[in-house]
Amino acid sequence: MNDELITELSRIAPVKRDEPMSRHVTFGVGGPADLFVSVKSEEQLREAFVSGKRHGAVYIFGSGSNVLVGDGGIRGLVIDNQHAEIGEPWENGVGPRVSAGSGLSFATLARRMASGGFGGVEWACGIPGSLGGAVVSNAGAYGRSLGDVLISARLTNAEGAVSELTAAELELDYRKSALATGTIGESAVLSVDVRLQRGDAEALKETIRSFDKQRKSAQPTGQNCGSVFKNPPDKAAWEYVDGAGLRGHRIGNAQFSEQHSNFILNLRGATAKDITSLIELAQARIREQTGIEMTPEVAFVGEFE
């Protein structure tokens, strides 16, 4: 990373060097990023992405709730996306919709819309990741996913050209998108337009309370990244982890949760190596027992041993 990039970035926002990524991901593990910049608007996000790409590798982090950063850290620039602006819902003749910055959390969008009497996204009330991250993985819960309600997303490419793509053009499918598969070139999601439905605020808030209750009883708290593996077509990933006898299994300071075996917990002080060892152990056992290849849902970023 050269001085020219640091000078360019400093005009956009303060730049940190060797920033520990464990502070910026829900897993709480990961070595330092060479350069780190927090952006708060669409323009800052676009400029930082284009500048960074001119000079080398760029990684955008939303809430860091679906990434495992290697113990060796990240060679390149990390953009911490805090572009969380949100407009008022508006009508365009075919129903209400809302525009939001890609750094806003999906859960915040769901809760804020429900309070204002708009439904359609209340099922996302427990998804802690940003809307940008949600586009990349087509985040979903309770049988729904972003692809069901996404009208379009604004993206910039590495040269700064902005385009607006529909859910179909983004090829949103179960925990994947054209961004994740690389069908469309490296891009930053800037903002999204989401379809809403008018509803009763009290009824929507009650639905959210019941989703919260379900999540609380099913999922562990603490440092984790949500589901570790994607569900294979025939049954839930946790059933495979259970079948491999790994519920509660611990390596170093990482452990498959006793409460939900598709979650890995950082019991404090875990390394990325502890976590990848658990993932690889589960993959090897399940492959041997069933022939199924378990695909991680979590994205691996940076340098691993």
Ligand X SMILES: Cc1cc2nc3c(=O)[nH]c(=O)nc-3n(C[C@H](O)[C@H](O)[C@H](O)COP(=O)(O)OP(=O)(O)OC[C@H]3O[C@@H](n4cnc5c(N)ncnc54)[C@H](O)[C@@H]3O)c2cc1C
- Residues in the site for ligand X, rule: CB under 6 A? 26, 59-67, 81, 102, 126-130, 132-134, 136-137, 139-141, 188-189, 224-226, 299
User: CB of residue 79 vs ligand X: minimum separation in angstroms?
Assistant: 8
Pick 225 or 278: Cβ nearer ligand X: 225
SS3 8: helix
Report how far apart, in Å, the C-alpha atoms of 183 and of each of 54, 62, 129, 178, 219 are. Answer: 21, 21, 23, 5, 33
Query: Based on CB atoms, which residue is closest to ligand X, 12 or 134?
Result: 134
Structure tokens that stand for 10 in this block: 């400093």
Shortest Å, Cβ 60 to ligand X: 4
> Which residue in 259, 293, 262 sits closest to 278, CA to CA?
262
Which of 98, 87, 23, 99 lies closest to 61 in space, CA to CA?
23
Taking the C-alpha atoms of residue 134 and residue 95, their distance in angstroms, rounded to an integer, is 22
Instruction: Give me 151's structure tokens.
Output: 């009208």
Residue 117 or 138: the one with the smaller Cβ distance to ligand X is 138
Which residues does the annotation mark as catalytic? 175, 227, 297
Distance CA 219, CA 236 (A): 14
Q: Which is nearer to ligand X, 37 or 67 (CB)?
A: 67
Gap between the Cα atoms of 214 and 223, Å rounded: 19
Which CB atom, from 117 or from 226, has the smaller least distance to ligand X?
Answer: 226
Q: Which of 82, 77, 7, 99 is nearest to 45 (CA)?
A: 82
DSSP 161: -
Cα dist. 150→120, 146, 166 in Å? 10, 6, 7
Spatial distance between the Cα atoms of 175 and 166, rounded to a whole number of angstroms? 17
Q: How far is CA 57 from CA 41, 60, 80, 165, in A?
A: 21, 10, 14, 24
Give least dist CB 74 to ligand X, A: 11
What is the smallest separation between the CB atom of 96 and ligand X, expressed in angstroms? 23
Query: What is the smallest separation between the CB atom of 291 and ligand X, expressed in angstroms?
Result: 26
